[in-house]
Amino acid sequence: MHTFILERPRDLAAALAFHAQAGRNDAPAEYIAGGTDMVQLLQEHVRRPERLVSLAGLLDGHIEAGPQGLRLGAAATMADVAVHPAVVEQFPVISEALLNSASPQVRNQATMGGNLLQRTRCPYFRDVGYAACNKRSPGSGCSAIDGENRWHAVVGTSDDCIAANPSDLAVALVALEAGVELRGAGGQRFVPLIDFHRLPGNTPHIESVLEPGEVIAAITVPASSTARRSHYLKVRDRASFEFAVVSAAVALDMDGGRIRAARVALGGVGTKPWRVPKVEAALAGGSLDPAVLRRAAALAAEGAQGRGHNDFKIELMQRAIVRAIETAGARA
């Protein structure tokens, strides 16, 4: 492990004053919370900050449910959120996404904020033996575009990076139109989650809109007509403890056999959690007839670009949408 200074500030204000920045490989200081991802990144020399600022005990870990919706403190663990009765009953897609993530061990430690900020599983990013990775070393190139890219994104990509965002939780949250409360030295701001992660463009090393000295304080999920009938479908290569090949989070507001409103987001295919508004619009007012669903889901492929090994995802993600809607639609 690289040598760095560990700061253990007494309160959040002191932590923010270090101006650390998450999810940016060239930032000299970085925050650490549950650490399940950060410990691996440090150990593998992927992340080499000069200073690491611990958030242990400084962030809210409460889970609050009320008529306005859900508020998940950034320090709440994946395990606690996954089995919280209000989450299970009113926002099942969140619970399902969490229970299909990682391992029981990791879920007991990993936090909400850290989950949204976990780094990609792109093997070229995670192996410093490969010199070329724009996300790890800005300007160094991308080994994945012409490499083994079965795991990589097909939407939201650029010529500089095709790494997929690995979070299941974020996909569910984006479908529910969640937002994040950010806390910085200058105060607090609210950002819709869909705007929180940045597209790689030509700066794939900057993954979120977090400024230096800013942290996620909480996640808010608004109450909605769709959340209760929601579902997370994850296609993966083994039964547990594996990231998504393709996933779909859907939330439906049904009027008998008709879809009044639909929310759809995709995982495993995007450089960020990928909501598909055109699919949602096409679904609204329609039935659950498979042909109708397939036509709507086809709109998800607009702009998708395979790079060889991951071409199959473009079709598979449409099928995942159809299946997830069928499953959610069949629920009482």
Partner 1 sequence: MTPPDAGARQNAAIDGDAAVRFIVNGRPAAVAASPLTRLAQVLRDDLGLTGTKIGCDAGDCGACTVLLDGRQVCACLTPMGQVEGRSVETVEGLRQDGTLSKLQQAFLAHGAAQCGICTPGMLMSASDLLRRTARPSRAEVLDAIGGTLCRCTGYQKIIDAVLAAATSAGVDSPPVGQAVGARAIRVDGIAKVAGTESYGADAIPHDALWLRVVRSPHAHARFALGDLEAVRRAHPGLEQILTARDVPFNGFGIYPDIKDQPVLADGIVRYRGEAVLALVGTREVVMRLADEVLPIVWTMLPPITGVDEARAPGAALVQDDRPGNLLMEGGVRCGDVEAALANAEAVAEIAVETPFVEHAYIEPEAGWARRVGDRLEIHVTTQTPYMDRDEVASVMRLKPQQVRIVPTACGGGFGGKLDLSVQPLVALAAWRLGRPVACIYTRPESMAATTKRHPARIQARFAATVGERLTACDVDAVFDTGAYASWGPTVANRVPVHAMGPYRVPNMRSRGAAYFTHNPPSGAFRGFGVPQAAIAHEAAMDALAEQLGVDRLEFRHRNALRVGDRTATGQVLHHSAGLAACLEALRPRWRDSLRHVAAFNAQARKAATHRRRGIGIGCMWYGIGNTSMSNPSTMRVGLGRDGTLTLYNGAVDIGQGSNTIMIQIAADALGLPMAQFRLVAGDTDRTADAGKTSASRQTFVSGKAAELAGADLRRQILRLANAGTNAALALDAAVLTVSDGETVRRIDLAALAADPDGNVLVGKGTFDPPTTPLDADGQGVPYATYAFAAQTAEVEVDLELGTTKVLRIVAAHDVGRAINPMQVEGQIEGGIAQGLGLALMEEYLPGRTENLHDYLIPTAGDMPLIETILIEDGEPLGPSGAKGVGEPGLVPTAPAILGAIAHATGVRLTRVPVLPHRLRAALQAKPGDRP
Instruction: Give just the sign of the alpha carbon dihedral 254, 256, 260, 265.
Output: positive
Element (H, E) at 265: strand 258-267
Binding characters for partner 1, 169-208, by CB under 8 A (x = yes): ----------------------------------------
Should residue 6 be labelled a site residue for partner 1 when binding is judged by CB under 8 A? yes
DSSP 204-263: TTB-BSPPTTEEEEEEEEE--SSTTSEEEEEE-SSSSS---SEEEEEEEEEETTEEEEEE
Q: Which of 217, 322, 325, 328 binds partner 1 (CB under 8 A)?
A: 322
CB of 273 to partner 1, least distance (A): 20
- 51: burial class by Cβ within 10 Å (0-12, 13-18, 19+)? middle
Tokens of 25: 């490989």
Residues in the interface with partner 1 (CB under 8 A) total 54
Q: Which helix (H) or strand (E) holds 184?
A: strand 179-184
- The answer to whether 21 contacts partner 1 (rule: CB under 8 A) is no
Cα-trace Rg, the chain: 19
| Minimum distance of partner 1 from residue 103's CB (angstroms) | 2
Q: Which stretch, 132-140, 261-269, 280-288, 313-321, contacts partner 1 (CB under 8 A)?
A: 313-321
Is there binding between residue 211 and partner 1 (CB under 8 A)?
A: no
- Give SS3 for 181: strand
Residue 45 interacting with partner 1 (CB under 8 A): yes
- CA-closest candidate to residue 175, choices 116, 232, 95, 121: 232
Q: CA-to-CA distance for 180 and 195, rounded, in angstroms?
A: 10
Decide if residue 150 touches partner 1 (CB under 8 A).
yes
Nearer to partner 1, 64 or 242 (CB): 242
Mark the segment that binds partner 1 (CB under 8 A) among 204-212, 234-242, 270-278, 280-288: 234-242
Which two tokens mark 131?
């010199």
Least distance between partner 1 and beta carbon 105 (Å) = 5
CB of 238 to partner 1, least distance (A): 5
Residue 39 beta carbon to partner 1: minimum distance, rounded to whole angstroms? 5
Residues numbered 49 to 68 that lie near partner 1 (CB under 8 A) are: 52, 54, 56
99 binds partner 1 (CB under 8 A): yes
End-to-end alpha carbon distance in the chain: 52
Q: Which is nearer to partner 1, 281 or 330 (CB)?
A: 330
Instruction: Determine the number of helices (DSSP H) and then strands (DSSP E) in the chain.
Output: 12, 12
φ, ψ at 181 (rounded to 5°): -90, 120
For residues 27 and 53, which CB has a smaller minimum distance to partner 1 in the complex? 53
Contact residues for partner 1, defined by CB under 8 A: 1-8, 32, 34-36, 39-40, 42-45, 52, 54, 56, 79, 99, 102-106, 108-109, 121, 123, 127-129, 148, 150, 235, 237-242, 245, 290, 312-313, 315-316, 319-320, 322-323
